[in-house]
Amino acid sequence: MLLVCACAVVSGARSIDELAEWGVHASSGLLAALGIRGHPLRWRRCPSAATIGRALGAVDGDALDRAVGAYLADRHRRAVESAGTSESRRVIAVDGKALRGSARGDTARRHLLSAVTHGRVATLAQVEVGAKTNETRHFKPLLAPLDLAGVTVTFDALHSVKANISWLVETKKAHYIAVIKTNQPIAHSQLAALPWRDIAVQHTRSETGHGRRESRSIKTCAIADELGGIAFPYARLAIRVHRRRKETGRRESRESVYAVTSLDAHQAGPADLAAAIRGHWGVENSSHHIRDVTFAEDASTVHTGTAPRAMAAFRNLAIGTLKILGADNIAKTTRAIRNKPEQALRILGITNNPDTQGT
């Protein structure tokens, strides 16, 4: 039944009703390959929407997320290896997302915390945290199962807890880039007070599109521990990204964003740091936006049991699998395979072909 859901979401299904509809259009041979048991008269029928809803509401959300994360991690690794171009440094973003439609009555909306790769987008881990303010408590459980040796982890100020950062560097042997906002007043004021005017711009990039022109410049500054440093453990470089944005018919806006990293200057240049920070912000478009727009996650009213989290896991599976295969437009890709259910098997790498008696 979970394989039916996985194939249906890869084909663009957005709701439990659409999961069942995908099964209705699937052939008997396809259902057999997915393990749907055959009737004594040898016909097969996909579970109804009510049955799928009950199953998703009762499934172990932690186990499902672990399975999806492990599957995507393996495919992501093999895709990088087969491309023949080794990534100089793996970067993973830790970011949260609310399931807006999951709130009912006095029950607050569900909130998920995920670890998502930059570049080839794949959600390697996901946990339910209850509310955004609980994210910091789940930082370690989210990343603990992952091999992070040599990996750079990006996150915002909400996760800039000294104990979490020390654990990340000391135990997981990882590096970090933490974006600092005004909700970290001490660190933010320390970074803003650095002599940025005396430091030359080290990297710039400009982009034009969607009715706006945007340019970003980056400066870095080494942090001297003997002079007090910054209020962050293992911080080696301070970073300032200055953004200018001009939308058609509007005045230009300017903003400076500060960050710190455990990477030394010889480990990552200004262009690398700028790409990592940009990649962290890009998770919103490369994953969350697709879940909300293409798969209508914000509009979903699924709220029973673990069903909201399970649907999010299947959306992660679909987005990650298609992105790893090179799909640029997920909406266009799912439309192309919607009326060809058998293609979902090949996309997910399912080669099992049981006999006509079923399993």
What is the pTM assigned to this prediction? 0.88
Task: For the chain, give the percent of residues with pLDDT over 90.
Answer: 52
The pLDDT, as a whole number, for residue 84 is: 64
pLDDT digits 0-9 by tens, 302-359:
888 999 999 999 999 999 999 999 998 999 999 988 878 888 989 998 875 555 444 3
Instruction: Provide the CB-side half-sphere exposure for 267 (13 A, CA).
Output: 16
Mean pLDDT calculated for residue range 133-143: 89
Contacting residues for 329 by C-beta, under 8 A, at least 6 apart: none
The pLDDT, as a whole number, for residue 46 is: 86
pLDDT digits 0-9 by tens, 254-273:
999 999 999 999 999 999 99
Contact 314, 67 (CB under 8 A): no
Task: Decide which of 289 and 130 is more confident.
Answer: 289
Is the per-residue pLDDT at 26 higher than 90? no
Q: How confident is the model at residue 35 (pLDDT cuts 50, 70, 90)?
A: confident
Q: What is the mean pLDDT of the chain?
A: 87
Is the per-residue pLDDT at 166 higher than 60? yes
Residue 38: which region, alpha, beta or left (left: phi > 0; alpha: psi -120 to 50)?
beta
Q: How confident is the model at residue 40 (pLDDT cuts 50, 70, 90)?
A: low
Query: Residue 91: enclosing H or E segment and its boundaries?
Result: strand 91-99
The pLDDT, as a whole number, for residue 358 is: 43
The pLDDT, as a whole number, for residue 356 is: 44
CA distance 353 to 106: 47
Radius of gyration over alpha carbons of the chain, in Å?
Answer: 23
**Listed residue (243, 275, 268) closest to 258, CA to CA:** 243
pLDDT digits 0-9 by tens, 59-103:
999 999 999 999 999 999 898 888 765 555 789 999 999 898 888
Is the per-residue pLDDT at 106 higher than 80? no
Q: How confident is the model at residue 231 (pLDDT cuts 50, 70, 90)?
A: low
Is the per-residue pLDDT at 214 higher than 60? yes
The pLDDT, as a whole number, for residue 352 is: 57
Is the per-residue pLDDT at 220 higher than 90? yes
**Listed residue (143, 110, 139) closest to 125, CA to CA:** 143
